[in-house]
Structure 1
Amino acid sequence: MSIIILGIESSCDDTSASIIKNDTILSNVIAGQKVHEEYGGVVPELASRAHQQNVIPVVDKALKDAGLRPEDVNAVAFTRGPGLMGSLLVGASFAKGFALARRLPLIAVDHLQAHVLANFIQEAGNTKAVPSFPFLCLLVSGGNSQIIEVRSHLDMEIIGHTIDDAAGEAFDKCAKVMGFPYPGGPFIDKYAREGNSEAFEFSKPRI
């Protein structure tokens, strides 16, 4: 029996909706938010308002791209955290309303665990190898830089993490200081490739 899940992600400034059938992605729609560009970073209040505007069109397009109707969905998953409180609330509220109206199971997903488990998702027509348990996962996402021991889909342990700025935070702060437009990460990455990797000596990371 095939299981079709509508996934909703709203932890920061992107409103995302995806349709997954068993372990295969049928559609994935993302709406960004240009409103933050003039501030050089994400403004939480503006992010939550933009999510309210984007969530219905994004879900509608995800269903259409997958060739499905709302009544074809068997369950709804949403990001419960970590993330920006207002942004999370928009995604959670929509997911709860959608599930309640159709009497569907509701699945609350940990944002960081989802990054790890994304390694197991397949794309239609493009089968890839997946890791076998146990394995180590380097998670570098926004405000998080972690090394995680993954024993099973639901058994994970953080065995190391940064004690100062995460990689994403460092990118954003450096970009803002240097006057790059938001998001500044791609500019940092571009110019770093053109620089001298031996110019500075950095301490070695330890666990």
Structure 2
Amino acid sequence: MKALATLLICFLTLISCTIAADTIFETQTIRDGQTIVSPQQTFELGFFSPSNTTQNRYLGIWYKHLATGPVIWVANRDTPIGNKSGELTLNHGGLLVLRDSTANRIIWSSILSRKSENEVAKLLDNSNFIVFDSQNGPENYIWQSFDEPSDTIMPDMKFGRNLKRGVVTNYTSWKSDNDPTRGKYMIYMDFNVLPQIFQKKRRCYSI
């Protein structure tokens, strides 16, 4: 009977892990070497190193089944972690925190528009990584990676100014093919007269 109960617990744990493959729950931590995958196995979120280095580590999103595909979003693009000690945690209230556990230093965190009591973070099949209240649904998200894009415009992304949320999105190139640091060129929308899309060379690209 005891063995049966143990087997049942293991089975339920396995199911839970399978269901949660695309989700981070409150106080859960994703460490370097671990990933989450969108429901249809399209996108993957985890830690990576550009092809020219094995030391600098970044938190990013990429196409899961494209071995040489592009990294389409990078959280800490200007602040790499120098080893495999990175940890991403969803804190109580809905704040995502990326930490260098060796140095006990916060590398990056999401912007919290409002607090939540039942927060989860989920990677969607359109590549958007969102934090939302599980009782209200993903439509009423607290934070989304689409509001903080890197250099890639994906389907379903909005470009420009979101008056309701007070968010302005623009896209900045990588410094090089192997360095996700914000580079020389930016695409943005100008609202001074009529909304227009511009590309410009940035004066400073080491922020």
Say yes or no: TM over 0.5. Answer: no
> Quick check: which one's strand share is greater?
2
TM-score bracket for this pair, using the shorter chain length: under 0.3
TM-score normalised by L of structure 2: 0.25
Taking structure 1 as the reference length, the TM-score comes to 0.25
Task: Indicate the structure whose relative CO is greater, using CA pairs within 8 Å and at least 6 residues apart.
Answer: 1
- Give the structure with the larger helix fraction: 1
